[in-house]
Amino acid sequence: MAHAVNGVVAAGRGARVSVETILVPDPGPGEALVKVQACGVCHTDLHYREGGINDEFPFLLGHEAAGVVEAVGDGVTDLEPGDFVILNWRAVCGSCRSCLRGRPQYCFNTHNAAQPMTLEDGTPLSPALGIGAFAEKTLVHSGQCTKVNPKAPAEVAGLLGCGVMAGIGAAINTGGVTRGDSVAVLGCGGVGDAAIAGARLAGARTIIAVDLDDTKLEWARGFGATHTINARERDVVEAIRELTEGNGADVVIDAVGRPETFQQAFYARDHAGLVVLVGVPTPDMLLELPLIDVFSRGGAVKSSWYGDCLPSRDFPMLIDLYLQGRLDLGAFVSETIGLGDVEKAFEDMHHGRVLRSVVVL
């Protein structure tokens, strides 16, 4: 039996999104039907709408979500109806070369639901990141459901499904930030502020926030930045060096993802320091660096895809930290909205007015 529910659909490149009736099938083998309770509005959803991911329109948008399992298909043994879950887009396979080498956080053979969700006329929808959670219900692979403590509000828990996890993971998992480190974060949107929060959790001594917007820099202080730099007013590399005894930061996290910010990150790190790229560049962007500088400075350059997270490990831990009062996930929620407000939320996000708008169903 198909479930007729409301969902937010992007019909074509650059077109305004609309709330449509969509049909969600009962779960088949290995699948789970989830009643969505909350879903954050992420830049990735806007990239889908703009055709920046691929051209497989129409898209069912939304992926940063939490909700309750309503039904499971055959063969699902680790979930049952009533479980409170965060949805993730890295349902590891367990059998690829990364998984078999004990590195499931690098799995690229991840699972999605096999059955399509459709419009009423039968047109198949492409769910954003294999989730499609701007909807009252969605169908996912059971491995995309991570059980967490149900005491956490859904509008807070769901943020770990993408942006907040990406930022915290960039600092802790990819960057390996530890006590006493100096850390600089370029770009203080949701992902950058999450990286700042992660660096504080890990015990970094100096946390430098860099942005063009004084309001965002003030937000960054709330998440743990010890110093701020307005890149319109200061040379970023010089300013970071001044704040780190002339050395540069141990870890510099580029949460913007542009050649200009990556170069700043590269030269603002200490010798043998680490650059972490978590901001998502566009396919047309090119980077030019003197190869001698790459060779002579030592250290490392890493990309951080989904914060190199392992949902089964990281989501429950971070929810526990939230419930203990050690991680203020609620501070990322700028507003709660309805399904019909997603288009305005895209505009607010584009103009930097919010950290996260969260659809509550």
Q: What are the pLDDT digits (tens) for 34-63? A: 999 999 999 999 999 999 888 999 999 999
Amino acid sitting at position 326: R
What is the Cα–Cα distance from 146 to 247, expressed in whole angstroms?
A: 41
pLDDT band, very low/low/confident/very high, at 360 (cuts 50, 70, 90): very high
Reading the block at residue 102, the tokens are 């004990």
What is the Cα–Cα distance from 355 to 224, expressed in whole angstroms?
A: 16
Reading the block at residue 264, the tokens are 């700043």
Share of the chain above pLDDT 90, in %: 92
What is the Cα–Cα distance from 130 to 236, expressed in whole angstroms?
A: 38
Spatial neighbors of 360 by CB under 8 A, at least 6 apart, are 37, 38, 154, 155, 336, 337, 338
Contact 311, 146 (CB under 8 A): yes
C-alpha gyration radius of the chain: 20
- DSSP codes, 182-246: EEEEE--SHHHHHHHHHHHHHT-SEEEEEES-HHHHHHHHHHT-SEEEETTTS-HHHHHHHTTTT
Fill in the DSSP letter of residue 135. B
pLDDT at residue 8 greater than cutoff 90: yes
What is the Cα–Cα distance from 349 to 52, expressed in whole angstroms?
A: 17
Reading the block at residue 313, the tokens are 């490990």
Which candidate, 41, 249, 199, 9, places its Cα nearest to that of 119?
9
Which pLDDT score, from 0 to 100, does residue 52 have? 84
Contact 60, 127 (CB under 8 A): yes
Angle at 326 between CA 323 and CA 328, to 5 degrees: 80
- pTM score, whole prediction: 0.95
Q: How far apart are the first and last CA of the chain?
A: 22
What is the Cα–Cα distance from 66 to 147, expressed in whole angstroms?
A: 10
Task: Render pLDDT for 183-231 as a digit per residue (tens, 0 to 9).
Answer: 999 999 999 999 999 999 999 999 999 999 999 999 999 999 999 999 9
Which pLDDT score, from 0 to 100, does residue 327 have? 97
Share of the chain above pLDDT 70, in %: 100
Cross-strand pairs, 185: 209, 253
| Mean pLDDT on 62-82 | 97
Which pLDDT score, from 0 to 100, does residue 185 have? 98
Which pLDDT score, from 0 to 100, does residue 108 have? 80
What is the Cα–Cα distance from 210 to 182, expressed in whole angstroms?
A: 14
Spatial neighbors of 255 by CB under 8 A, at least 6 apart, are 167, 170, 185, 186, 187, 188, 189, 191, 192, 195, 278, 279
What is the Cα–Cα distance from 42 to 3, expressed in whole angstroms?
A: 26
CA–CA distances in Å: residue 46 to residues 30, 38, 114, 231: 29, 18, 25, 26
**Average model confidence (pLDDT) across the chain:** 96
What is the sign of the dihedral through the CA atoms of 198, 201, 203 and 208?
Answer: positive
Task: Render pLDDT for 84-141 as a digit per residue (tens, 0 to 9).
Answer: 999 999 889 889 999 999 999 898 888 899 999 999 999 999 999 999 999 999 999 9
- DSSP codes, 246-310: TS-EEEEEESS--HHHHHHHHHHEEEEEEEEE-S---TT------HHHHHHH-SEEEE-SGGG--
Which pLDDT score, from 0 to 100, does residue 24 have? 98
